[in-house]
Structure formats: C-alpha cells, structure tokens
Structure 1
C-alpha cells in the first residue's frame, strides 16, 4: 500500500472520529446535568473536547490563545474563568467512550498492522499524580503504609491508571483511572471485557508483566481464545516449575475447588476451570546477567508463561515478542514527560481525569502516524542501521502544522496533505536506534568525569561514582 493510500486512510479515520465527536451521543455523554452544553456558546462541548486533546502550552491563558488562533476564531476567545466554568460541566466518561470509538474506527480500517496475523496487545498500570486537596483525597483515596496512617498524613494524591496498548499500532485501545488502592488485576479484567468486541474473531497475543500471571487471568484469556506471553513471578506454580527438566517445556496446573474460590473477577474463568480443571502452560526460563550499582556481576532467572505452540514459536521468538511489550513503558514515559500528563488546569478531580484522557487521545492520534512512519523508515533504510521516528518531534509537528483546524472542521483533503508533508520530512525527524539498547547502560568504566552537567543535546550526563579506584556510571 503506497503512501498516498495510507495518508488517505489516515485522513478518513480522523474525519470519521471528528464526526463521532460532533455526534448527539457524545453531546449527551459529556453532560453532568441535562441542562449542560445545551446553549450555543464560544466553548461548546466538542470544542472543549478538542481543547483537552490538543493542550500543549505551559499556562491556561497561552493554551486558550493558541486554541482559538488554531481554529481561526480568535475573536471568540474566552477567559480562563469561563473555561473553568465549562470544564466543571464535562463528564470524564465521554473520553472513555471516545477512546473506544477511536479504536473501533481504527480496527475497522485497512491500517492495523499485525505480527504473523496476531495483534500484540500489552497491559500495564502506572500511577498518575493528582492535584492535592481534601476532595481529591476522598475521591482518589490513598494507600496506607509506614508513613501514611490516615488522611492527615497524605502528602501526595495519586490515581491508579492502566491501559491496554497495541504495541504494533501505537494506540491505547482502552484506558482507565481508578483510586490509588485499586489493584491492577481487576483493572486488567475491565479492559479485557470492554475490548472484547473490538478483537472478536481476531488472533491476539496478550503481553503482560509479572503482576498478571494469575490463574484467573490465564483462564479468562483461554475463554477469549487469546494467546499470551506473561512474565511470571518465582513463586507462581513453583511446584510444577521445579519439576521442569529443561528451560522450555509445558507444565500442567490443576485448579482445585479451594483455588477456584479465589477467582473473583471472571465468571467465565470459573466456568472454564470447572469444565476443565487443568491449565496447560508453556514455561520458558532465561538467565539474565547485569551489573549492579556496586559494580558486581549478578544473575537472575526470569520465567515466562505462554500458550503459544512450540512448533510455531521458538524460545527466542517468545522472548523477542515479550520484549516488544516495552513499547507501553515508552508510551507512559512519553505521556508523562513530553506530553506532561500530570500538568492540570484545575484542582477539580473530574477536570484532572479529562486532562489525562485528552492526552491519551492525542497520543493515539500521533501514535498511529508514528507507526506508519516507522514502517516506511524500515522499508526505505538501506545502510543496515535501524531508525525510528522521534516521537517528540512528531508531536510538535502535529501541533504546529495545525492539525486541529483540519480535524475539527472535517477537512479530509487538508489532513491528507498535512500527513504527506510530514512524510516528506521523515528523514529529518528520524533517529538511529542505539545498538544493545536493552543491555546494561550503567556500570561502565569511564576515564574522566564530565566537566559540565549537560551534553550538546541538552540531556544530563550520567552520574558516576568511585569504585575500586575507577569511575563507574550509575543509574540516575
């Protein structure tokens, strides 16, 4: 499929998403009261949605100036007080709906990429810091600990957030924000239930870290006919794992009635285990070597659980597929650093949710473009090196080339032209992938310490410490 067709498909997708934003369903969902967003105002419901998606300045006033200038309605610019009044009317649930709609539109197009016919979806959670006030402390709650005994000990308010992320296509298929004590396991089940129709009839490989290897999650994935690759904890199925004679073989785990009582989130998982009490899991072991902060060489045994056939997927391929899960970690880093996920316009809890969901939607828009550019880069590269799109520069181009005006007015031809212009700039926004990027970065011996704090690219030089009469780099 050539670049012209790709840009046309992307522009059609964004125009269809714009139609959904302007729809009556969204107008109803965004209201907290039936009287909200019923009058014609300078900041109507769809303008406010796009305002949250395309926020990119340091202050609210500069954001309002940029927003109304971008949509060529500067004379309608409202004050910061009027914005706060409109923000308090916005129901955050509308953004969850829009994230789902964006995903449905995307997967119904010809754009999605797969790995040997499989969609690779990764689950992971994170914490998002919320503005501090008493109302948010009750709303988002807090985790009791050594230094926190009651609400008066709370110094920082956080929300447990989590997303189901397509690593091949660069978008969050689902995203949620819950109170801080909320567990990642029920959050994962919510995402699996809500996205079930999107992936119905499709082949899926579910990628997850150590906190998702429970028998209930694996049983629910069997019910959905999903394949999975999950990194396991050392005590998961330890009796069966201890009997392994090689580093890659299948184990049988019997779920008895006592174990089944601990299944709390999925009736389907309970039913499938009642009918078939034995889970068959392929276990892969790998020795990971690294240098600790003391400069000592250490070894750690990593365990992975999967149900992919050993005849079709080798041990090395399973490990390679799991390493692709790292893209969701990169996305969280991009959201928190480049997109400033935790910079809010109000202390109100719902306003904070709207800010976060809006950033996720913008990440999805830029993410699907990034994956298309990466595919073109890998296809056109002839020097044997690996390159990827600089996500920070790409996001800046989406902001500065005024995608907002074209999308909010549904101008398909303009969107297509802007995407093609970005493709022409692809060689100026690509960056080389550093070799051995997943191997040790710290514990390296250097001859001389850096004499200044920043390198030429503005980044911090690595910290160093003295060890056995030499200087060794340490993690920041």
Structure 2
C-alpha cells in the first residue's frame, strides 16, 4: 500500500536552504507482516517483493548482535585509554582483532560448508587465543595443520537458529556499594572521602 507524505512546515532548527532541498512530497510503501509494518521508499512490488523486504528487515538483528559482541565479548564497553590519540588506537586495534576473528569464522564456515552466522564468535575468539602461542612458533605444513585443527574446533560449535530473538534491555551485573575512585590511589589514601566503611 502506497502513501504520499507532504513536506511539513520548516522546523526552527533547519535552515531555509536545507529545507528547500527537501522534496515537497514523498511517496512511501507500507509492507506488513503479522507483527510489524515496515515503511520503505522501494515502491516497485515486483522488483522488491514484500517477503524480501521483511527478510532483510529481520536480518538487521545481526547488526545489534554484532554491536553487543564488540561491547561485551571484546570488552569495549569501557575504553581504558585517556588521550584521544590513544583512544583511537585502542578502538582501531579492537576492530582489527574483531575483523580477524570474523575472517577466521568465514574461513571456518567455508571449511565446514556452513554460513559464518551459524558459528559462535566467542568460540572463535577463545580458540584463537588458545592457539596463539602454537601459531606464532609454527611454519610450513605444521602451521597449515594447526590452522585446520583450529577450524575444526571452531566448526564444532554451531549456533542455533533464533528467529525474532530479542534481549531484555537491563544490566545483570550489580554495581558495588563503594564510592567511585576518581583520584589516583596515592591521592585517595590521603583524602577523607575515601576513608571509613
């Protein structure tokens, strides 16, 4: 079902120049399934079938899972560096490792004839860490054999199909009942606010 939206009155925060660039009308299409209505500008129902749009929308959950993996499994929810330059380096290194693990999952998926989404990120991460010292000292055929062993181990942990999965937006870990340490430890030992029970 197609709808036509007309441009609303210019909001105060928007410049007249930007407002003039916006279309006077916008035609949108509403695609429905049992649980939701998806709004899109892909109007051609033959070229963009309803089932494909819904399937694509449902795949967006993988993005949420990937952000969760980056924040929790890779422990990037709290950055440890202080200067902007070092924070950028910390983020870059974490993304480099993340992409390395995803590449390893892709290689494993090809090795066992599955899709990368069917594999466990945590298993791939832990397997890579446990093989790290062995891989650093390996070369030639022995290195190739160790990589195949690693792929076999990762491939044993298949993630189940979880359509429409959603997680509660709540924190399980409770904060400790102590004051937050906002000074160096040597300073904190001298300050009264950190003394006592």
TM (norm. structure 1) is 0.28
Aligned-pair CA distance for 1:393? 1.1
Aligned-pair CA distance for 1:349? 4.2
Map of 2:129 onto structure 1: 399
Map of 1:85 onto structure 2: none
Q: Does structure 1 residue 311 correspond to structure 2 residue 63?
A: no
Aligned with 1:285 (options 23, 32, 44): 32
Q: Please list every run of 5 or more consecutive structure 1 residues that lacks an aligned counterpart in the other structure.
A: 1-248, 289-300, 382-386, 443-459, 461-476
Map of 2:94 onto structure 1: 359
Map of 1:389 onto structure 2: 119
Aligned partners of 1:425 and 1:263: how far apart in 2? 57
Aligned partners of 2:161 and 2:72: how far apart in 1? 20
CA contact (8 A) 1:281 1:307 kept: yes
Structure having the larger proportion of residues in strand: 1
Aligned partners of 1:318 and 1:263: how far apart in 2? 34
Map of 1:133 onto structure 2: none
CA contact (8 A) 2:30 2:39 kept: yes
Aligned partners of 1:355 and 1:422: how far apart in 2? 27
CA contact (8 A) 2:2 2:29 kept: yes
> Structure with the greater relative contact order (CA < 8 A, sep ≥ 6): 1 or 2?
1
Aligned-pair CA distance for 1:263? 7.4
CA contact (8 A) 2:31 2:38 kept: yes
1:86-136 residue CA offsets vs partner (Å, 9 max, x unmatched): xxxxxxxxxxxxxxxxxxxxxxxxxxxxxxxxxxxxxxxxxxxxxxxxxxx
Q: Does structure 1 residue 433 correspond to structure 2 residue 161?
A: yes
CA contact (8 A) 2:120 2:154 kept: no
Aligned-pair CA distance for 1:305? 1.9
Aligned-pair CA distance for 1:339? 0.7
Aligned-pair CA distance for 1:254? 4.2
Q: Secondary structure at the match of 2:73?
A: coil
1:308–1:365 CA distance, 2 compared to 1 (3 A): farther
Structure having the larger proportion of residues in helix: 2
Aligned partners of 2:157 and 2:120: how far apart in 1? 6
Q: Please list every run of 5 or more consecutive structure 2 residues that lacks an aligned counterpart in the other structure.
A: 173-197
Aligned partners of 1:336 and 1:361: how far apart in 2? 14
Aligned-pair CA distance for 1:308? 6.0
Aligned partners of 1:364 and 1:358: how far apart in 2? 10
Aligned partners of 2:121 and 2:41: how far apart in 1? 31
Aligned partners of 2:141 and 2:40: how far apart in 1? 47
CA contact (8 A) 2:108 2:151 kept: yes
Q: Aligned Cα RMSD in Å? A: 4.2
CA contact (8 A) 2:127 2:153 kept: no
1:7-406 correspondence to structure 2 within 5 Å: 249-255=1-7, 258=10, 262=14, 270=21, 273=22, 277-288=24-35, 301-307=36-42, 309-374=44-109, 377=112, 379=113, 388-402=118-132
Q: Secondary structure at the match of 1:393?
A: helix
Aligned length: 163
CA contact (8 A) 1:280 1:307 kept: no
Aligned partners of 2:38 and 2:161: how far apart in 1? 27
1:359-416 residue CA offsets vs partner (Å, 9 max, x unmatched): 1221122123324434555x469xxxxx82111010122233229x76xxxx899886
Aligned-pair CA distance for 1:322? 0.8
Q: Secondary structure at the match of 1:425?
A: helix
1:419–1:350 CA distance, 2 compared to 1 (3 A): same
Q: Secondary structure at the match of 1:401?
A: helix
Aligned partners of 1:255 and 1:412: how far apart in 2? 65
